[in-house]
Chain A
Amino acid sequence: MRRLIVLAASTAVAVTAFAGSAAAQDPVTLRVLVHQNPPFVGFMESFNDQFEASHPDIKVDMAVVNANELMTSTQTRLMANDVDVIDIFAFSNAAQPYMQNTDPPGWQSLIDAGLLMDLTDQPFVANYDPASIADAGTYNDKVYQINLGRVGFSGIYYNKDLLAENGIDLPTTWSELVAACETLTSAGVPCMTAGGGDGWPIFVGAYGLLGADFPDQEALVEGLWTGTIKYTDPEWLDLLGKYQVYSRDMMEPGASALPGDGAPGRFASGAVAMFPGGTWYGPAIEGLEPAFDWGYIPFPGSDDPANNQYMFGKYDQGWAIAETSSKKDAALTYLSDFSEPANYQAFVDAVGPIPTQPGATLETKIGQELAPYLENFRLGFELLWTPPKGAGQFAAPPLVNMFQPFGTFDDPQAAAEQAQADLDSGLSAIQ
Chain B
Amino acid sequence: MSYHFGTGPRAKSWPYLMLAPAVILYLVLALGPSIATSFFSATDATGLPGLPIHFVGLENYREFLTLGARAQENINAIFRTLVFCIAVTTIQFTLGLFVALLLNQGLRGTRFFRTLFFLPVILGVTIQGLMWTLFLYPLGGPLQTFLNLFGMESLFLGGQPAEAFAWVIVVQIWSNLGFTMVIFLAGLQTIPEEVYEAARIDGASRWQAFKSVTWPLLTPAVNTNLVLTIIGSLQAWQLFLVLTGYRPGTQVMGYLVYAEAFGRTTGSTTVNSFRQGYGAAAAIILFLIVLAIGITTQFFLRRREARLTG
State yes or no: do A and B come from one complex: yes
Please give the residue numbers on chain A whose beta carbons come within 8 Å of chain B beta carbons, in ascending order: 35, 67-68, 70-72, 75, 78-79, 89-90, 92-93, 103-106, 109-110, 112-115, 196-200, 203, 253-259, 262, 266, 314, 382-383, 385-387, 389-395, 401, 404-408, 421-422, 425-426, 428-429
**Further 14 A-B residue pairs, CB within 8 A, beyond A75-B274, A93-B270, A115-B48:** A68-B245, A75-B47, A78-B48, A79-B47, A89-B270, A92-B270, A105-B272, A109-B46, A200-B268, A203-B267, A254-B144, A258-B158, A389-B68, A421-B69
CB within 8 Å for A405 and B68 given contacts A106-B273, A199-B247: no
B138 in contact with A199 (CB, 8 Å):
no
Main secondary structure of the interface of A (DSSP, over half): loop
CB contacts (< 8 Å) of B139 on chain A: these are 254, 258, 262, 266
CB contacts (< 8 Å) of A71 on chain B: these are 262-263, 269, 272
B263 in contact with A72 (CB, 8 Å):
yes
Chain B 97-145 residues near chain A, CB threshold 8 A: 133, 136-139, 144
CA distance A393 to B139 in the complex (A): 28
CB contacts (< 8 Å) of A93 on chain B: these are 270-271
CB within 8 Å for A68 and B48 given contacts A109-B274, A256-B159, A421-B69: no
A196 in contact with B158 (CB, 8 Å):
yes
How many residue pairs link A and B with beta carbons under 8 A? The number is 158
CB contacts (< 8 Å) of A392 on chain B: these are 68-70, 72-73
- Say yes or no: is B51 at the interface (Cβ < 8 Å to chain A): yes
CB contacts (< 8 Å) of B155 on chain A: these are 253-254, 256-257, 405
B157 in contact with A197 (CB, 8 Å):
yes
Please give the distance in Å from A136's CB to the nearest CB on chain B. 11
CA distance A254 to B47 in the complex (A): 38
Chain B 131-173 residues near chain A, CB threshold 8 A: 133, 136-139, 144, 153, 155-161
- Say yes or no: is B49 at the interface (Cβ < 8 Å to chain A): yes
Q: Which residue of A lies closest to B136 (CB)?
A: A257
CB contacts (< 8 Å) of A401 on chain B: these are 248, 267
A104 in contact with B63 (CB, 8 Å):
no
CA distance A68 to B271 in the complex (A): 10
- Say yes or no: is B71 at the interface (Cβ < 8 Å to chain A): yes
Please give the distance in Å from B236's CB to the nearest CB on chain A. 19
Q: Which residue of B lies closest to A197 (CB)?
A: B158
Interface residue range, chain B: 35 or more
CA distance A199 to B259 in the complex (A): 14
From A35, A257, A393, give the contact of B158 (CB < 8 A).
Answer: A257
From A90, A110, A199, A395, give the contact of B69 (CB < 8 A).
Answer: A395
CB contacts (< 8 Å) of B270 on chain A: these are 89-90, 92-93, 314, 382-383
* Most A C-beta atoms less than 10 A away, residue of B47, B50, B161, B246: B50
B63 in contact with A109 (CB, 8 Å):
no
Chain B 46-95 residues near chain A, CB threshold 8 A: 46-51, 63, 67-73
From A67, A253, A256, A385, give the contact of B271 (CB < 8 A).
Answer: A385
A89 in contact with B274 (CB, 8 Å):
no
Q: Which residue of A lies closest to B161 (CB)?
A: A408
CA distance A428 to B66 in the complex (A): 13
B273 in contact with A103 (CB, 8 Å):
yes
* Most A C-beta atoms less than 10 A away, residue of B73, B159, B247: B159
CA distance A89 to B272 in the complex (A): 10
Q: List 13 A-B contacts (CB under 8 A).
A: A68-B269, A75-B274, A93-B271, A105-B273, A110-B48, A257-B157, A258-B138, A258-B139, A390-B67, A390-B69, A392-B69, A394-B248, A425-B69
Bitwise, B192-213 to A at CB < 8 A (1) or not (0) is 0000000000000000000000
CA distance A79 to B267 in the complex (A): 24
From A254, A314, A386, give the contact of B138 (CB < 8 A).
Answer: A254
A426 in contact with B70 (CB, 8 Å):
yes
Please give the distance in Å from A177's CB to the nearest CB on chain B. 22
CB contacts (< 8 Å) of B274 on chain A: these are 75, 106, 109
CB contacts (< 8 Å) of A253 on chain B: these are 138, 153, 155
Please give the distance in Å from A202's CB to the nearest CB on chain B. 9
* Most A C-beta atoms less than 10 A away, residue of B51, B137, B139, B246: B139
CB contacts (< 8 Å) of B144 on chain A: these are 254
CB contacts (< 8 Å) of B267 on chain A: these are 199-200, 203, 401
A257 in contact with B50 (CB, 8 Å):
no
Bitwise, B243-282 to A at CB < 8 A (1) or not (0) is 0011111000000000000111011111111110000000
Please give the distance in Å from B128's CB to the nearest CB on chain A. 16
CB within 8 Å for A408 and B160 given contacts A199-B246, A253-B153, A390-B68: yes
Q: Which residue of A lies closest to B67 (CB)?
A: A390
CB contacts (< 8 Å) of B48 on chain A: these are 75, 78-79, 109-110, 113, 115
CA distance A389 to B260 in the complex (A): 12
Please give the distance in Å from B53's CB to the nearest CB on chain A. 11
CA distance A407 to B267 in the complex (A): 14
CA distance A394 to B50 in the complex (A): 33
CB contacts (< 8 Å) of B71 on chain A: these are 390
A199 in contact with B245 (CB, 8 Å):
yes
CA distance A72 to B241 in the complex (A): 13
CA distance A385 to B139 in the complex (A): 34
Q: Which residue of A lies closest to B245 (CB)?
A: A199
Going nearest first, the 6 A-B pairs with the smallest beta carbon separation are A257-B158, A390-B68, A392-B69, A254-B138, A256-B158, A425-B68
CA distance A298 to B246 in the complex (A): 28
CA distance A104 to B48 in the complex (A): 13
CA distance A255 to B139 in the complex (A): 8
